[in-house]
Amino acid sequence: MHISEGILSPEILLAGAAGTAIGVTMGLRSLKNGDIPKVALLTSAFFVASLIHVPIGPSSSHLVLNGLMGIILGWEAFPAIFVGLALQAILFQFGGLTTLGINTFNMAAPAIVAHYLARPFLKQGGLGPVGLLACAVAGGGSIMLSALLVSLSLALSGEGLEAVGRLIFIVHIPVAIIEALIATFTISFLLRIRPDMIIPGWTD
Amino acid sequence: MNWTVRVLVSTAFTLSVLCSAMSAAQAHGVRSMITHGSQAWVAVAVFSDGTPMSYTRVTVVGPDATMPFQKGFSDKNGKFAFVPDRPGKWTIIFQDPMGHRSQASTIISMSQGSKEAVVKAPVSSDYTLLPTGIKALIGLCFIMLLALLARTFRHRH
């Protein structure tokens, strides 16, 4: 879902960069010293997940894990995704440096939504069915929200990119299902072995 | 060993193993190459697992040119044909909105009285410089370094 350089209009690029600047600032301000290993771990997972190629019809996609990052990290997901995408752009030419802002925003903003969606249910439900359902919705929904933002970015840039945007949305439905399962199992597992990693101060 | 160091060390180890495995397995990179027939040249782009980059936007740039010579889309098999009109370095870029991009360049010379092109230099691709696994390892090392620097900086302030 990385948008390449030379496709989007300057207005969309600037808006994305501004949104990312705000998000990264918020993330760095909320970053606690003890959270740095957790952020590094999830940044690494995000960076590596992009290398696992999932063929979908005539195109292809890969795991994103932004929903899972959002649930665990909250606003800290913004700098984590920014670093992951910057490394992907430099090392693998996925996306580009001028589109780093909009690509980060498109991936990280849904992560924040996932965070606020899942967190209240986790506190109330713990390992219960409501909490797991909230994780699944947050994990899968963040992918679909990212696909929607990418589609909107393309559609607003004109050049008849609406059809491409629709395609991106459709091909990410299987990815969303996979990520819903990953988020559910990961959060469930972490709540059992390291609950304080999900909710600070909460121990089993 | 405190929890922080344990997490960093175990992360580096796990991801190194994962990334070594991935260099041998499917990766999400793409590569392209250029071959030539009797009239036209054919550029082909494939993902690193051999899947063609079908119906992808292609740009052909001629020698010493700033404007593209030709634009279009690859076919089902990830191929794109073009007919160069002058000798020199030609560059073909495959790029789709999903973020996949592959660029290949080759030097073409026109033999006397013929439109047939001859390869003078090996085909190059920006995706063949380093294996995917090595690039992934570099990225992971950078993330770990950044985390250690951030911790050190925050301890001092």
What are the pLDDT digits (tens) for B44-68? 887 766 677 888 888 898 888 878 8
Q: Is the four-CA dihedral B151, A39, A106, A27 of positive or negative sign?
A: negative
Q: What is the mean pLDDT of residues A182-188?
A: 90
What are the pLDDT digits (tens) for B114-145? 444 443 333 334 444 567 788 888 889 999 99
The whole-model pTM stands at 0.71
Q: Is residue A1 part of a domain?
A: no
DSSP B83-122: ---S-EEEEEEEE-TTS-EEEEEEEEEEPTT---EEE-S-
Distance from CA of A113 to the nearest CA of B (A): 23
What are the pLDDT digits (tens) for A76-98? 999 999 999 999 888 877 778 88
> A60: domain CATH number?
1.10.1760.20
**Which residues neighbour A84 within 8 Å (Cβ) at sequence distance 6 or greater?**
A43, A46, A47, A50, B143
Half-sphere exposure of A51 (CA within 13 A, CB side): 29
Q: Is residue A126 part of a domain?
A: yes
Mean pLDDT rounded to a whole number for chain B: 71
Q: Is residue A4 part of a domain?
A: no
Q: Which domain holds residue A47?
A: 10-198
Q: Are A100 and A86 in contact (CB under 8 A)?
A: yes
The domain tally of chain A equals: 1
What are the pLDDT digits (tens) for A117-163? 998 888 655 667 888 889 999 999 999 999 899 888 888 877 556 66
Output the six-digit token pair for B100: 């996949």
What are the pLDDT digits (tens) for A20-60? 999 999 999 998 888 898 999 999 999 988 777 666 665 66
Contact A37 B28 (CB under 8 A): no
Contacts of A38 in chain B (CB under 8 A): 7
Q: Report pLDDT for A1.
A: 72
CA dist A142 and A65 (Å) reads 9
> Of B9, B28, B93, B148, which to mutate for an interface test with A (greatest number of A Cβ within 10 Å)?
B28
Q: Is residue A57 part of a domain?
A: yes
Q: How many angstroms separate the Cα of B75 from the Cα of each of A22, A68, A196, B53?
A: 42, 37, 52, 8
Q: Report pLDDT for B131.
A: 72
Contacts of B28 in chain A (CB under 8 A): 50-53, 60, 62, 92, 94
Q: Report pLDDT for A66.
A: 92
CA dist A164 and A65 (Å) reads 22
**Of B139 and B28, more confident:** B139
CA dist A111 and A106 (Å) reads 9
Q: Is residue A203 part of a domain?
A: no
A111 CA to centre of own chain: 5
Residue A174 has pLDDT above 70, yes or no: yes
**Which residues neighbour B23 within 8 Å (Cβ) at sequence distance 6 or greater?**
B131, B132, B133, B134, B136
Output the six-digit token pair for B12: 């580096």
Q: Is residue A2 part of a domain?
A: no
What are the φ/ψ torsions at residue A179 (nearest 5 degrees)? Answer: -70, -30
CA dist B153 and B157 (Å) reads 6
pLDDT-based confidence at residue B15 (cuts at 50, 70, 90): low
Q: Is residue A5 part of a domain?
A: no
Q: What is the mean pLDDT of residues B91-119?
A: 65
Q: Is residue A111 part of a domain?
A: yes
